[in-house]
Structure 1
Amino acid sequence: MIPTVSIDAVPDPLPEGLSVLDVREDIEWQHGHIEGAVHIPMSELTGRLGDLPDGQTLVVCKMGGRSAQAVGWLAQQGYDVVNLEGGMVDWADAGRPMVSETDRPPLVV
């Protein structure tokens, strides 16, 4: 069973002590992400465990599929992680704040 939460159950703003891990690819991250999130693409996750935030972590991707896989694996490694069901699409649809690494407004690609 994958620990999962819907956007409605995620406090706004995010509470102190809750970190965000974004496992999307670089181009997705650049167009829009949660400010303060740690970016580790799914393909790099196993080699970058030392870059993971401490404590409880909300794991996100575009729709929730990749992040569910990451949460399943990370939970087996002993990390306190939860998957955001609906991912960044639901985050954006809920009007939650995002930032961009481009010169354009943030969006989910």
Structure 2
Amino acid sequence: MPPNVPAVTVAELPDGVTMLDVREDDEWTAGHAPNAVHIPMSELAGRLGELPTDGSVYVVCRSGGRSARVTAYLNANGWDAANVDGGMRAWHAAGRPMVSELPGAEPEVI
């Protein structure tokens, strides 16, 4: 994990913020936070224009490793970003809402 990456726990995550999910398509499809923005880590550099520049961005992946690298990258390039510590595993364990893109499927973290 990159050093000195700002992080927040799921419990500390403010309501109504921009949450950037950097997981792969299959992970997103299985289950994600409602209203999250999905840009896989591998596509981020080409899709930076989809991120707001006037507020904080909270970055999430499955467990926190990929999102920490993306957080460091965003902060080095002018964004105010923080890593969601523990990722979607922690989100799910905390009982936070999730949705699936699979019709009729129960959302899950894969």
TMscore range, shorter length? over 0.9
Q: Which residue of 1 aligns with 2:12?
A: 9
Runs of 4+ residues deviating >3 angstroms:
none
CA distance in 2, matches of 1:53, 1:96: 23
CA distance in 2, matches of 1:95, 1:33: 12
Q: Deviations over 1:38-80 (max 9, x none)?
A: 1000000011100113411110000000000000000000101
8 Å Cα contact 1:24/1:61 also seen in 2: yes
Q: How far is the alpha carbon of 1:9 from its aligned partner?
A: 1.5
Q: Which residue of 1 aligns with 2:69?
A: 69
8 Å Cα contact 1:6/1:86 also seen in 2: yes
RMSD: 1.0
Q: How many residues align?
A: 105
AA in 2 matched with 1:108: V
Q: Give SS of 1:9's match.
A: coil
CA distance in 2, matches of 1:56, 1:41: 18
Q: How far is the alpha carbon of 1:8 from its aligned partner?
A: 2.4
CA distance in 1, matches of 2:52, 2:77: 14
CA distance in 2, matches of 1:6, 1:35: 17
Identity of aligned residues (%): 52
Structure-2-length-normalised TM-score = 0.91
Q: Which residue of 2 aligns with 1:80?
A: 80
CA distance in 2, matches of 1:40, 1:31: 15
Q: How far is the alpha carbon of 1:10 from its aligned partner?
A: 1.9
CA distance in 1, matches of 2:65, 2:74: 14
Structure-1-length-normalised TM-score = 0.92
Check if 1:93 corresponds to 2:93: yes
Q: Give SS of 2:11's match.
A: helix
Q: Which residue of 1 aligns with 2:44?
A: 45
